[in-house]
Structure 1
């Protein structure tokens, strides 16, 4: 039923765009209420959205006159497409897709942080990684080309002169949904998984894969926002009060997570099961939780340094300047 509703919502949004309507980034339901659509991914870096959804924080902040809907994504490219077309109004995404799209002229603004950490690099059981040089020639998988986890991994190895085939190196790169990484490692299709939590913890438990680059060792692991809250500049300009309420709800969720980690973990397990069909075990989530931090603050310097590396790795065509990408005025 939920999938049917999402399909109908997408068709309605597409029709509105083709008709030149709904250009402000928000829409109105048949009951006359304003509708806000929040996007996020089914991984632990995106728990603030799951908690806000479960606790009704967006509904509380935006009031009875607003209907809140949620849409989940497997990777940043489809999320950014949805933001650009008005299919979603705001949500959580990795900084990589936000920066890449901003650099090509997309109307996107980072308005808050959400989490840090959570990127873990694992080697398939039987694949020996005793030094950085051992990554050469291996097949690795990330959620998307130039995604946050991809840039972190390739930055770490580029310092040692090891690069992907995309830029003349020997590492073969595949992309796919993190929930499928364990099966791909077991089948031998990939040697290395660059996984966001909780999938790294799942892979460890289910496959015996070894962590070869920890979340606090991979490039930008402790400083870079692993997920950020974004919206469009157009929505900020036309609906600043709505954006403020979205941020206030997001801050409520982050506060709840830090004050109630056990309950937040239960919400995470439930939400991921509803979205992916996979029920995570409690010990897996607890392990993943140790590799994540939650904050609404956003580190502009870390984002610029990360983007400079994206450019050096040729994910970005032009040298980036993100002075206008971040709008933290709603955090005060």
Structure 2
């Protein structure tokens, strides 16, 4: 009898051990900390709204700590994604494509916004049309960034190119928050600005819009910002990615349904991250040039990538078959 009791106890302990192992496997599938990256501009409002409303926390649960990091350009963002300093976040499609093409483990898992790229010239510069850009100095956030490719694609079609590929335009890079001062000081002739900086420059300096947001290449169709994660993160923690996408979708829906409150959240977040407080007039104008969506126009992405190759931002003809992963935005099980 004692022997049977001992065997029964051993069996029960083994069974408990199996259950514990299962529980441990479930726990390891979650993350104790998730870091979300984004830029402090209006194309990245979904991250600001999700942050303010606590959507990531709600989706990932109280056992997960949520942190946020902001970036001034796509290069710094992609470095952080590759090193694991961030787990997911919003970035322009340009940096995502460029890094993917050079072997980076990055996947686009949702759209975030469209539009928001505006090309302006100083009020008294004499620049009235795109053909006037030849020989001028222009500035974008980074070489090969989304706004840069949109701008250079548009100009390439009319025969105006940068010094980088044998043309006459001189290219500088810098933070969009500095563009207004650089334009007024004469350090640059043309700014290729994401919103809300374009609206701020236009209203505060009287700069003239030479190429409107909906006329620059793919102005209305190209994802201006996308939600990305690493392939490793998707493979190892798909439920975490699903939760991140679900929170992102909630944020996009909120923006569409509550534009006025979303504008207030934007003003507050940009001030906290950059020290600059945008006027409501600036935000209202910028908002007219932006669309928010978690869907992705794959054709526009491929056309943009092909142009990046033609303009020599990419060394090889791109193949983005595996870059865009739509399983999470199309999943019926995604929590909304």
- Normalised to the residue count of structure 1, the TM-score between the two structures is 0.90
Query: In structure 2, the residue corresponding to 1:68 is in which secondary structure?
Result: strand
User: 2-side partners of 1:149 and 1:33: how far apart?
Assistant: 34
| 5+ residue gaps, structure 1 | 1-27
Aligned to 1:37: 35
Aligned to 1:20: none
Aligned to 1:285: 283
Among 147, 150, 162, the residue aligned to 2:148: 150
User: 2-side partners of 1:235 and 1:46: how far apart?
Assistant: 22
User: 2-side partners of 1:84 and 1:122: how far apart?
Assistant: 34
Q: Does 1:73 find its partner at 2:68?
A: no
| 5+ residue gaps, structure 2 | 1-27, 331-336
Aligned to 2:179: 181
**Which string of whole-angstrom CA distances, capped at 9 and with x for unpartnered residues, describes residues 261-315 of structure 1?**
0000000000000000000000110000000000000111110000000000000
Point out the more displaced range, 307-316 or 201-210. Answer: 201-210
Aligned to 1:64: 62
Q: Does 1:94 find its partner at 2:68?
A: no
What does 1:230-249 correspond to in 2, within 5 Å?
230-249=228-247
Q: From the superposition, tell whether residues 61 and 133 of structure 1 become closer, same or farther in structure 2 (CA, over 3 Å).
A: same
User: 1-side partners of 2:215 and 2:41: how far apart?
Assistant: 20
Superposition RMSD in Å:
1.1
Displacement of 1:206 in angstroms is 1.4
User: 2-side partners of 1:324 and 1:103: how far apart?
Assistant: 11
What does 1:1-332 correspond to in 2, within 5 Å?
34-332=32-330
User: 1-side partners of 2:123 and 2:186: how far apart?
Assistant: 9
User: 2-side partners of 1:239 and 1:133: how far apart?
Assistant: 50
User: 1-side partners of 2:138 and 2:282: how far apart?
Assistant: 23
User: 1-side partners of 2:31 and 2:85: how far apart?
Assistant: 17
Displacement of 1:33 in angstroms is 6.8
Aligned residues: 302
**Which string of whole-angstrom CA distances, capped at 9 and with x for unpartnered residues, describes residues 50-82 of structure 1?**
000000000000001100000000000000000
Q: From the superposition, tell whether residues 33 and 104 of structure 1 become closer, same or farther in structure 2 (CA, over 3 Å).
A: closer
Point out 4+ residue stretches in structure 1 off by more than 3 angstroms: none
Displacement of 1:131 in angstroms is 3.1
User: 2-side partners of 1:126 and 1:191: how far apart?
Assistant: 10
Displacement of 1:161 in angstroms is 1.1
**Which string of whole-angstrom CA distances, capped at 9 and with x for unpartnered residues, describes residues 28-62 of structure 1?**
9xxx9700000000000000000000000000000
User: 2-side partners of 1:77 and 1:207: how far apart?
Assistant: 29
Please tell me whether the aligned partners of residues 31 and 240 of structure 2 are also in contact (alpha carbons under 8 angstroms).
Answer: no
Query: In structure 2, the residue corresponding to 1:181 is in which secondary structure?
Result: helix
User: 1-side partners of 2:132 and 2:120: how far apart?
Assistant: 13
- Normalised to the residue count of structure 2, the TM-score between the two structures is 0.89
